[in-house]
Structure 1
Amino acid sequence: MSLLTVVVPCYNEEENVPFFYGELMKNEPFFDEKGIELELLYVDDGSRDGTVTEVKKLREKDQRVHLVSFSRNFGKEAAIYAGLENAGGDYVVLMDADLQDPPSLLPEMFDLLEQGYDSVATRRVSRKGEPPVRSFFARMFYRLMKKISRTEIMDGARDYRLMTRQMVDAILSMQEYNRFTKGIFGWVGFSTKWIEYENVERLKGETKWSFWKLFLYSLDGICAFSTVPLMLASVMGAFFCVVAFLMIFFIIIRKLIFGDPVSGWPSLVCIILMVSGVQFFCTGILGQYLAKTYMEVKRRPIYLVKERL
């Protein structure tokens, strides 16, 4: 029999853990018929509530439930990597514990995988329940990534994805510290079938992703899969050099023809402020890439395990 590992990253999901287990096990007859064994791997990302306790209660009833618990909060990207690294299945699926990734889609996803695909991924066709401002900037981010990156990052893509062992091993071979999984999925390639579904709101609790955290996450994605911002800084520098030479030429000609002294200190101050702002902006771009490089060369572990069941 083949083995399917269900990887579930968790951070303060005490209320959702048992409900997710119940919904997932509704698919058990389908997988029994297919000759597929199930194992459930919860990855606790340093939760401060009773998430670990709830997982242990499930394990007492079902030995197919496993747990990897971090020593502190390392972030969802680290939890995803840890889940893939500790998954022993011939097939691996990533899912959120809040039931925004409907377990009812698993049979359809597995049937599609058997048609020869290496992965079956999901994307939301709506953002019902999200603040309009957040939805707007999310769409703008995906549009931007399509223009500045060669890696395919699908608009509305979820981490909910069923993969073959070959694809999982390819993802694990990318051991960078600064991880952007949505981009990594696209970078490794392999044939992928997309399933669309309407957005599902969280069962219980509140999202851990604030607007600021999403903004920082988007910067990670841009730095990880595009060097266009660096080229933009170079282009802006060249542009202002050309403008400066043209202005110098203009001032000399005006002085020779009209004899006017150079005047207009308010406009000069505005120009200085604008150019200074551009310089700081370009320095900030360089700083982002330098910071990512700094974290990579340290070779720190992506996560640390406190407890493993």
Structure 2
Amino acid sequence: MTQTLAIIIPCHNEEENIAVFYHAVQKALAPLPAYQPLFWYINDGSTDHTLMAIQQLQQADKDVHYIDFSRGFGKEAGMYAGLQNAKADLYVIMDADLQDPPEMLPEMLAGIADGYEMVGAARVDRTGEPILRSFFSNLFYKLMKRISQADIVPGARDFRVMTPRYVDAVLSLSEHNRFSKGIFGWIGFKSKYLPYKNVERQYGQTSWSFTNLFKYSLDGIIDFSDAPLTFVSWVGLFSFVTAGLALLFIVIRALIYGDPTPGWPSLVSIFLMFGGLQLFALGILGRYIGKIYIEVKNRPIYIAKEIK
């Protein structure tokens, strides 16, 4: 019995990779005639000829579909849109740049056949990436492992095969501020990850700069942990105790040695310490409040110009 396999591919300026990716997946699935791939390309505000390349591919294969966003909404919105619109027996999320090896699909599908609800891929190294970027990526995963309620596997990619039940659980979390790695780890179900070595992009340049990745990491921490708020509370307590000891020291010193400018050192110490602490705490609270503000607006996660 043939099973349909919806392959969700978020794309931003990937015109050179569209056809290459399509043929690579077809080749990887050729030994598995029991699976019929349905390609769902998500054009996330591309400024090159990505949409044209998808449309040309669609003319040759009726199993190629696409969603064209009205503007760029980000990869998270692209994954959500693909999962929401595609209908199939199994679902796959992959990047168009072939950093997610299609050769892993047979083993991942075998895992689903063995009873897993989700089989994903996790990089065991970061060969080819800048050292600083790799360091902070590893640090982020270790931090999330400690403070988050979600089971986030180090090196985990968005590349994964999922059952409809798993996908329904993902879609039930319809929050606007999406951090899918956290969502995948939070919903549970019987899952496993297959290790693989890093693969560099086929063509083009990544749109994920260090700044974008840093912001994405902050979103992940805020979306799945209240640890920053707890941290601020402890910093507040520490600052209060430290300021009290400093004030006591200043008073004792003034009584013993005198003070040519009475009150000035103690006031400056207190103002600087508590002023900086308040700004720091307000910054963290502002991030959480900003997330709440976006959520209560209840805006759509994406707007599609065309679904075909």
Q: TM-score range by the shorter chain?
A: over 0.9
SS in 1 for 2:31: helix
- How many Å separate the matches in 2 of 1:145 and 1:263? 49
What is the CA–CA distance in structure 2 between the aligned matches of 1:111 and 1:295, rounded to whole Å?
40
Structure 2 CA distance for partners of 1:104 and 1:276, relative to 1, 3 Å: same
Change (3 A) 1:266 1:9: same
Is residue 182 of structure 2 the alignment partner of residue 208 of structure 1? no
Aligned to 1:300: 299
- Distance in 2, Cα, partners of 1:129 & 1:255: 60
Give 2:78's aligned amino acid: A
Gaps of 5+ in 1: none
Decide whether aligned partners of structure 1 residues 250 and 267 sit closer, same or farther in structure 2, where only a CA change above 3 A counts: closer
Q: CA RMSD in A?
A: 1.8
Distance 1:230 1:51, change over 3 A: same
For 1:229, give the aligned amino acid: P
Q: How many residues align structurally? A: 306
Question: What is the TM-score when the length of structure 1 is the normalising length?
Answer: 0.94
Question: What pairs with 1:80-159 in structure 2 (closer than 5 Å)?
Answer: 80-159=79-158
Which of 260, 264, 270 is the matching residue for 2:258? 260
2:250 touches 2:266 (CA, 8 Å); kept in 1? Answer: no
Aligned to 1:172: 171
- Aligned-partner SS, 1:195: strand
State the distance in 1 between where 2:216 and 2:254 align.
52
Identity %: 51
Structure 2 counterpart of 1:26 = 27
* One-letter identity of the residue aligned with 2:8: V
**3-state SS of 2:42 partner:** strand
Structure 1 residues 216 and 262: CA distance shift in structure 2, 3 A: farther
Task: Name the SS of the counterpart of 1:307 in structure 2.
Answer: strand
Give 1:112 shift: 1.3
Deviation per CA, 1:34-93, whole angstroms, max 9, x where unpaired?
x22221100110111111111111111100000101000000000010011012011100
Q: Which residue of 2 aligns with 1:194?
A: 193
User: Which ranges in structure 2 are unaligned for 5 or more consecutive residues?
Assistant: none
Q: Is the 8 A contact 2:29 2:106 kept in 1?
A: no
Counterpart-to-counterpart distance in 2, 1:191 and 1:222: 24
1:84 counterpart letter in structure 2: L
Asked if structure 2 preserves the Cα contact closer than 8 Å seen for 1:4 and 1:93, the reply is: yes
**How far did 1:95 drift?**
0.2
The residue number in structure 1 matching 2:65 is 66
1:288 to 1:63, Cα distance in 2 relative to 1, 3 A: same
1:87 maps to a residue whose letter is: A
Residue 2 of structure 1 corresponds to which residue in structure 2?
A: 3
Corresponding residue for 1:181?
A: 180
Letter in 1 for 2:110: D
Name the TM-score, length of structure 2 as normaliser.
0.94
Structure 1, residues 196-240: CA drift from partner, whole Å, max 9, x if none?
Answer: 111000000011100100010001000000001011111111222
Q: Is the 8 A contact 1:251 1:262 kept in 2?
A: no
